[in-house]
Amino acid sequence: MAATISMLKGASNSPVGLARSEENVWIKRGLIIVTLLFLGFFLFLPLAAVFSAALEKGFGAYFASFDDPDALAAIKLTLIAAGIAVPLNLVFGLAAAWLIAKFNFAGKSVLLTLIDLPFAVSPVISGLIYVLLFGLQGWFGPWLAEHDIKIIFAVPGIVLATVFVTFPFVARELIPLMQEQGSDEEQAALVLGANGWQTFWRVTLPNVKWALLYGVILCNARAMGEFGAVSVVSGHIRGMTNTIPLHVEILYNEYNFVAAFAVASLLAILALLTLVAKSLVEWRARQELAAALEPTMIKD
């Protein structure tokens, strides 16, 4: 068999077809300018405003904002909440994606809708539902009070609200990918004598690792940045139940703008890192996909 590998790409592979390239250059420039202006106004300006306001009184004042036990306590609490919520939803995401991608069963589409449900719920309501369950007047309120367990206006409530709002992130990244990949490779592994866990660890997981990472990054960003839901269950006790976003709110409402924006800039940096990580992951995933699709270029 003559296996000559030709790396030549066909001309038709270019995304810019004939009809597209003939486009009027002024329309093109106009649309690019509108895009840049719109995004500049709506995206770049707010981002710049955060850093500008944070550094308004110089770097000294900026760094002094973090030299505050309440700020450090807020950072610590945010890390705890994200540290619990992300792994929980990661495990859930894997289980749900396996279930939905590998099996056909009655009620699958209902299940899919229910998994997406937390996205449709206002953050404020996400907090409220836990107050209704665990608050003093809630279902379990009296029982909890009797046993001296605090959930609402305490750390567990914050963790629960965070878990709720970040619930679908990993699952919804994995489900479409795993559905698309089908279960051919898993079947091949099983035929070759692998057991369920071996198949999962050695075949499925490596195939979805980028989507998984992507989901985790998004999940983490939301977990650290959640405001509305956490605000409802937190009780805003300084140094105790304030997360970073809540701490920002308190500082802002106290007209301590430099500190508010300094702490906010921390979250903005986190957001930018998230975008960078997300782009990197997308880039890697695209590369692997391109490599996987390349076979069409290789002739026997």
Partner 1 sequence: MKIVLKQASVIPGFGLTLGYTVFYLSLIVLLPISALFLKTATLGWGEFWSIVSNPRVVASYRLTFGASLVGALINAFFGFIVAWTLVRYSFPGKKIIDALVDLPFALPTAVSGIALTAIYSSNGWVGRYLEPLGIKAAYTPLGVTIALTFIGLPFVVRTLQPALEELDPATEEAARSLGASRMQTFLRVILPAVFPALLTGFALSFARALGEYGSVVFISGNMPMFTEITPLLIIAKLEQYDYAGATAIASVMLLASFAILLVINFLQWYSSHRYRTGV
Partner 2 sequence: MSIEIRNINKTFGSFTALKDINLLVPSGELVALLGPSGCGKTTLLRIISGLEQPDPGNGAILFHDEDVASRSVADRKIGFVFQHYALFRHMSVFDNVAFGLTVKPRSQRPGKEEIRDQVMELLRLVQLESQANRFPSQLSGGQRQRVALARALAVKPKVLLLDEPFGALDAKVRQELRRWLRRLHDELHVTSVFVTHDQEEALEVSDQVVVMNAGQIEQVGPPAEVYDHPANPFVYQFLGNVNLFHGRIDGGEAKINHLDRSQSEQEVVAYVRPHDLDVSRERTSPDAIEAIVRYIHAAGGMPRLELERLDNGESIAAEVARERYRELELQVGDHLFVTPRNLRFFVEGAPLDYQI
Enumerate binding residues for partner 2 (CB under 8 A).
1, 3, 5, 184-185, 187-195, 198, 202-203, 206-207, 291-295, 298-300
Radius of gyration of the chain (CA): 25
Beta carbon nearer to partner 2, 40 or 206: 206
Dist CA 135 CA 157 (whole Å):
9
**How crowded is the C-beta side of 126, counted as CA atoms within 13 Å?**
23
Dihedral over alpha carbons 175, 297, 290, 185 (to 10 degrees): 40
Binding mask 55-84 for partner 1 (x = CB under 8 A): ------------------------------
Asked if 167 interacts with partner 1 (CB under 8 A), we say yes
Question: Which tokens hold the place of 242?
Answer: 């304030």
Binding mask 194-233 for partner 1 (x = CB under 8 A): -xx--xx-----------------x--x--xxxxx--xx-
* Shortest Cβ 65–partner 1 spacing (Å): 14
User: Amino acid letter at 187?
Assistant: Q
Name the binder of 228 from partner 2, partner 1, none, CB < 5-8 A by kind: partner 1
**How crowded is the C-beta side of 245, counted as CA atoms within 13 Å?**
19
* Shortest Cβ 286–partner 1 spacing (Å): 12
Name the binder of 155 from partner 1, partner 2, none, CB < 5-8 A by kind: none
Give 153-173 as a DSSP string: TSHHHHHHHHHHHTTTHHHHH
* 218, 169 Cβ separation under 8 angstroms: yes
Name the binder of 198 from partner 1, partner 2, none, CB < 5-8 A by kind: partner 2
Name the binder of 286 from partner 2, partner 1, none, CB < 5-8 A by kind: none
Beta carbon nearer to partner 1, 32 or 289: 32
Name the binder of 34 from partner 2, partner 1, none, CB < 5-8 A by kind: partner 1
Q: Which of 9, 38, 149, 188 binds partner 1 (CB under 8 A)?
A: 38
Question: Which positions ≥6 away from 145 have C-beta within 8 Å?
Answer: 136
Dist CA 155 CA 230 (whole Å):
10
Dist CA 34 CA 39 (whole Å):
8
* Shortest Cβ 264–partner 1 spacing (Å): 4
How many Cβ atoms from other residues are within 10 Å of residue 57's Cβ?
A: 15
* 126, 200 Cβ separation under 8 angstroms: no
Count of positions on this chain that bind partner 1 (CB under 8 A) = 102
The residue range among 57-65, 66-74, 163-171, 292-300 that interacts with partner 1, by the rule CB under 8 A, is 163-171
Q: Which residues of 184-210 are buried (b: 16+ CB within 10 A; e: fewer)?
A: eebeebeeeebeeeebeeebbeebbeb
Name the binder of 50 from partner 2, partner 1, none, CB < 5-8 A by kind: partner 1
Name the binder of 149 from partner 1, partner 2, none, CB < 5-8 A by kind: none
Name the binder of 115 from partner 1, partner 2, none, CB < 5-8 A by kind: partner 1
Q: Which of 135, 144, 153, 215 binds partner 1 (CB under 8 A)?
A: 135
SS3 284: helix
